[in-house]
Amino acid sequence: MRKISRRQKEIREKTQNNIYSNLDEAIKLLKETATAKFVETVELHANLNIDPKYANQQLRTTVTLPNGVGKTIQIAVLTNEANFSEANDNGADIVGNEELIQDISQGIIDFDLLIATPEMMPKLAKLGRVLGPKGLMPSPKSGTVTTDLSSTLSDFKKGKFEYKADKTGNVHVSFGKSNFSEVELLENLLALYNSIEQNRPSGVKGKYFKTIYICNTMGPSIKLDLDAFA
Protein backbone atom coordinates (compact mmCIF):
# COMPACT_ATOMS: atom_id res chain seq x y z
CA MET A 1 0.00 0.00 0.00
CA ARG A 2 1.29 3.46 -0.91
CA LYS A 3 2.41 5.42 2.13
CA ILE A 4 0.59 8.71 2.68
CA SER A 5 2.88 11.69 3.17
CA ARG A 6 2.55 13.85 6.26
CA ARG A 7 1.31 16.72 4.09
CA GLN A 8 -1.39 14.57 2.53
CA LYS A 9 -2.39 13.28 5.95
CA GLU A 10 -2.76 16.86 7.23
CA ILE A 11 -4.84 17.80 4.19
CA ARG A 12 -7.17 14.86 4.73
CA GLU A 13 -7.60 15.76 8.37
CA LYS A 14 -8.56 19.30 7.37
CA THR A 15 -11.06 18.28 4.70
CA GLN A 16 -12.64 15.02 5.83
CA ASN A 17 -15.83 15.49 7.84
CA ASN A 18 -15.22 19.24 8.13
CA ILE A 19 -17.65 21.93 7.01
CA TYR A 20 -16.18 25.38 6.43
CA SER A 21 -18.28 28.35 7.47
CA ASN A 22 -15.52 30.85 6.72
CA LEU A 23 -15.08 31.26 2.97
CA ASP A 24 -11.67 32.91 3.36
CA GLU A 25 -10.39 29.84 5.21
CA ALA A 26 -11.94 27.52 2.62
CA ILE A 27 -10.29 29.37 -0.27
CA LYS A 28 -6.94 29.37 1.53
CA LEU A 29 -7.21 25.62 2.03
CA LEU A 30 -8.23 25.22 -1.60
CA LYS A 31 -4.97 26.78 -2.72
CA GLU A 32 -2.97 24.74 -0.20
CA THR A 33 -4.40 21.51 -1.64
CA ALA A 34 -3.34 22.40 -5.19
CA THR A 35 -0.21 20.26 -5.12
CA ALA A 36 -0.14 18.90 -8.69
CA LYS A 37 2.74 19.77 -11.01
CA PHE A 38 0.42 21.71 -13.30
CA VAL A 39 -1.97 24.62 -12.83
CA GLU A 40 -5.16 22.97 -11.61
CA THR A 41 -8.69 24.02 -12.42
CA VAL A 42 -10.78 25.14 -9.45
CA GLU A 43 -14.31 23.74 -9.38
CA LEU A 44 -17.63 24.20 -7.61
CA HIS A 45 -20.00 21.25 -7.21
CA ALA A 46 -23.48 22.11 -5.95
CA ASN A 47 -26.32 19.69 -5.34
CA LEU A 48 -29.65 21.48 -5.80
CA ASN A 49 -33.15 20.60 -4.68
CA ILE A 50 -34.47 20.37 -8.25
CA ASP A 51 -35.74 17.68 -10.61
CA PRO A 52 -34.71 18.81 -14.13
CA LYS A 53 -37.18 16.46 -15.82
CA TYR A 54 -39.77 19.15 -15.05
CA ALA A 55 -39.60 22.29 -17.19
CA ASN A 56 -40.00 24.63 -14.20
CA GLN A 57 -37.11 23.01 -12.31
CA GLN A 58 -34.39 23.36 -14.91
CA LEU A 59 -31.31 25.53 -14.46
CA ARG A 60 -29.51 26.72 -17.56
CA THR A 61 -27.99 30.18 -17.74
CA THR A 62 -24.83 32.18 -18.38
CA VAL A 63 -22.47 34.07 -16.12
CA THR A 64 -19.41 36.29 -16.48
CA LEU A 65 -17.08 35.92 -13.51
CA PRO A 66 -15.22 39.07 -12.40
CA ASN A 67 -11.80 37.46 -12.89
CA GLY A 68 -12.58 35.06 -15.72
CA VAL A 69 -11.84 31.34 -15.53
CA GLY A 70 -8.27 31.39 -16.78
CA LYS A 71 -9.09 29.82 -20.12
CA THR A 72 -8.92 31.21 -23.65
CA ILE A 73 -11.63 29.80 -25.87
CA GLN A 74 -11.90 29.44 -29.63
CA ILE A 75 -15.11 31.03 -30.91
CA ALA A 76 -16.71 30.23 -34.26
CA VAL A 77 -19.39 32.44 -35.80
CA LEU A 78 -21.95 31.15 -38.27
CA THR A 79 -23.50 34.03 -40.17
CA ASN A 80 -24.10 35.45 -43.62
CA GLU A 81 -21.24 36.98 -45.58
CA ALA A 82 -22.37 40.54 -44.87
CA ASN A 83 -21.44 40.04 -41.19
CA PHE A 84 -18.03 38.45 -41.75
CA SER A 85 -16.11 41.70 -41.20
CA GLU A 86 -17.95 42.52 -37.97
CA ALA A 87 -17.27 39.03 -36.59
CA ASN A 88 -13.58 39.10 -37.55
CA ASP A 89 -13.08 42.62 -36.20
CA ASN A 90 -14.53 41.60 -32.81
CA GLY A 91 -12.36 38.60 -32.13
CA ALA A 92 -14.05 35.62 -33.78
CA ASP A 93 -11.51 32.83 -34.43
CA ILE A 94 -13.53 31.14 -37.18
CA VAL A 95 -16.16 32.79 -39.38
CA GLY A 96 -18.22 31.09 -42.06
CA ASN A 97 -21.56 29.95 -43.40
CA GLU A 98 -22.04 27.04 -45.83
CA GLU A 99 -18.41 25.90 -45.63
CA LEU A 100 -18.49 25.99 -41.82
CA ILE A 101 -21.68 23.96 -41.80
CA GLN A 102 -20.03 21.43 -44.11
CA ASP A 103 -16.99 21.17 -41.82
CA ILE A 104 -19.19 20.61 -38.77
CA SER A 105 -21.19 17.91 -40.58
CA GLN A 106 -17.90 16.12 -41.27
CA GLY A 107 -16.93 16.28 -37.61
CA ILE A 108 -14.40 19.09 -38.02
CA ILE A 109 -15.01 21.11 -34.86
CA ASP A 110 -12.04 23.34 -34.08
CA PHE A 111 -13.84 25.61 -31.63
CA ASP A 112 -15.12 25.70 -28.05
CA LEU A 113 -18.16 27.90 -28.68
CA LEU A 114 -20.45 28.44 -31.68
CA ILE A 115 -22.35 31.71 -32.12
CA ALA A 116 -24.96 32.05 -34.84
CA THR A 117 -27.18 34.77 -36.24
CA PRO A 118 -30.91 33.89 -36.36
CA GLU A 119 -31.19 33.38 -40.13
CA MET A 120 -28.61 30.55 -39.95
CA MET A 121 -30.44 28.49 -37.34
CA PRO A 122 -32.68 26.56 -39.78
CA LYS A 123 -29.53 25.34 -41.53
CA LEU A 124 -28.12 24.15 -38.21
CA ALA A 125 -31.14 22.00 -37.38
CA LYS A 126 -29.70 19.00 -39.24
CA LEU A 127 -26.50 19.23 -37.14
CA GLY A 128 -28.24 18.83 -33.79
CA ARG A 129 -26.92 15.29 -33.41
CA VAL A 130 -23.36 16.53 -33.89
CA LEU A 131 -23.48 19.72 -31.84
CA GLY A 132 -26.02 18.75 -29.17
CA PRO A 133 -23.99 16.07 -27.34
CA LYS A 134 -21.00 18.43 -27.24
CA GLY A 135 -23.08 21.28 -25.79
CA LEU A 136 -22.28 23.45 -28.80
CA MET A 137 -25.72 23.99 -30.31
CA PRO A 138 -26.45 27.75 -30.30
CA SER A 139 -29.55 28.87 -28.43
CA PRO A 140 -31.16 32.22 -27.56
CA LYS A 141 -31.27 31.19 -23.89
CA SER A 142 -27.50 30.78 -23.72
CA GLY A 143 -26.93 34.02 -25.62
CA THR A 144 -25.28 32.27 -28.57
CA VAL A 145 -27.99 33.21 -31.08
CA THR A 146 -27.71 36.93 -31.63
CA THR A 147 -28.12 39.84 -34.00
CA ASP A 148 -25.46 41.84 -32.13
CA LEU A 149 -22.22 40.04 -32.89
CA SER A 150 -19.91 42.74 -31.53
CA SER A 151 -21.29 42.80 -27.97
CA THR A 152 -21.87 39.04 -27.88
CA LEU A 153 -18.29 38.30 -28.93
CA SER A 154 -16.99 40.85 -26.44
CA ASP A 155 -18.92 39.21 -23.58
CA PHE A 156 -17.74 35.69 -24.36
CA LYS A 157 -14.16 36.81 -24.92
CA LYS A 158 -14.27 38.38 -21.44
CA GLY A 159 -15.15 34.99 -19.98
CA LYS A 160 -18.91 34.69 -20.22
CA PHE A 161 -19.94 31.03 -20.27
CA GLU A 162 -22.99 28.84 -19.96
CA TYR A 163 -23.63 26.31 -17.21
CA LYS A 164 -26.55 24.08 -16.33
CA ALA A 165 -27.70 21.49 -13.86
CA ASP A 166 -27.35 17.87 -14.93
CA LYS A 167 -30.23 15.40 -14.87
CA THR A 168 -29.63 14.63 -11.17
CA GLY A 169 -29.80 18.29 -10.12
CA ASN A 170 -26.05 18.81 -9.73
CA VAL A 171 -24.10 21.80 -11.05
CA HIS A 172 -20.42 21.29 -11.85
CA VAL A 173 -18.68 24.56 -12.77
CA SER A 174 -15.08 25.75 -13.04
CA PHE A 175 -14.52 29.13 -11.43
CA GLY A 176 -10.81 29.74 -11.89
CA LYS A 177 -7.32 28.30 -11.69
CA SER A 178 -5.18 27.36 -8.72
CA ASN A 179 -2.73 30.16 -9.55
CA PHE A 180 -5.43 32.80 -9.05
CA SER A 181 -5.09 34.87 -5.87
CA GLU A 182 -7.32 34.09 -2.89
CA VAL A 183 -9.20 37.35 -3.50
CA GLU A 184 -9.83 36.51 -7.16
CA LEU A 185 -11.10 33.03 -6.31
CA LEU A 186 -13.37 34.34 -3.57
CA GLU A 187 -14.84 36.99 -5.89
CA ASN A 188 -15.48 34.38 -8.57
CA LEU A 189 -17.01 31.94 -6.09
CA LEU A 190 -19.43 34.56 -4.74
CA ALA A 191 -20.38 35.68 -8.26
CA LEU A 192 -21.08 32.09 -9.28
CA TYR A 193 -23.11 31.37 -6.15
CA ASN A 194 -25.16 34.54 -6.68
CA SER A 195 -25.80 33.57 -10.30
CA ILE A 196 -27.14 30.16 -9.28
CA GLU A 197 -29.26 31.75 -6.54
CA GLN A 198 -30.66 34.48 -8.79
CA ASN A 199 -31.63 31.94 -11.44
CA ARG A 200 -33.52 29.73 -9.01
CA PRO A 201 -36.13 27.79 -11.04
CA SER A 202 -39.73 28.78 -10.37
CA GLY A 203 -40.66 25.20 -9.51
CA VAL A 204 -38.31 24.94 -6.52
CA LYS A 205 -40.14 24.49 -3.23
CA GLY A 206 -38.36 25.10 0.05
CA LYS A 207 -34.60 24.76 0.37
CA TYR A 208 -32.74 25.31 -2.90
CA PHE A 209 -29.13 24.33 -2.15
CA LYS A 210 -28.49 20.94 -0.57
CA THR A 211 -24.69 20.94 -0.51
CA ILE A 212 -21.79 22.93 -1.97
CA TYR A 213 -18.25 21.65 -2.37
CA ILE A 214 -15.16 23.23 -3.91
CA CYS A 215 -12.01 21.46 -5.03
CA ASN A 216 -9.03 21.47 -7.38
CA THR A 217 -8.62 19.07 -10.28
CA MET A 218 -6.51 16.68 -8.20
CA GLY A 219 -7.42 17.84 -4.70
CA PRO A 220 -9.92 16.70 -2.07
CA SER A 221 -13.42 18.14 -1.79
CA ILE A 222 -13.96 20.97 0.69
CA LYS A 223 -17.51 21.20 2.01
CA LEU A 224 -18.91 24.69 2.56
CA ASP A 225 -21.49 25.73 5.12
CA LEU A 226 -24.47 27.07 3.19
CA ASP A 227 -24.87 29.83 5.78
CA ALA A 228 -21.44 31.14 4.77
CA PHE A 229 -23.08 32.77 1.76
CA ALA A 230 -25.79 34.51 3.77
Domain extent listing, the chain: 19-68+161-229, 75-157
Is the pLDDT reported for residue 3 higher than 80? no
How do residues 27-74 score in pLDDT, each as one tens digit? 999 999 998 899 999 999 999 999 999 999 999 999 999 999 998 889
Query: What are the start-end ranges of the H helices in the chain?
Result: 6-15, 23-32, 84-89, 98-105, 121-124, 128-131, 149-157, 182-198
CATH of 19-68+161-229, one of 3.40.50.11540, 1.10.3720.10, 3.90.120.10, 3.30.190.20: 3.30.190.20
The mean predicted confidence, pLDDT, of the chain is 92
pLDDT tens digits, 136-163: 999 988 899 999 999 999 999 888 988 9
Q: Name residue 113's beta-bridge partners.
A: 75
DSSP string, 105-121: HTT----SEEEE-GGGH
Fold exhibited by the domain 75-157: Rossmann fold (3.40.50)
Task: Give the model confidence (pLDDT) of 196-218 as tens digits.
Answer: 999 999 999 899 999 999 999 98
Calculated CA dihedral for residues 61, 62, 63, 68, nearest 10 degrees: 140
CA distance 10 to 4: 10
Q: Is the pLDDT of residue 1 over 70?
A: no
| DSSP code, position 58 | -
Return the pLDDT at 16. Answer: 74
Using DSSP, state whether 176 is helix, strand or coil: strand
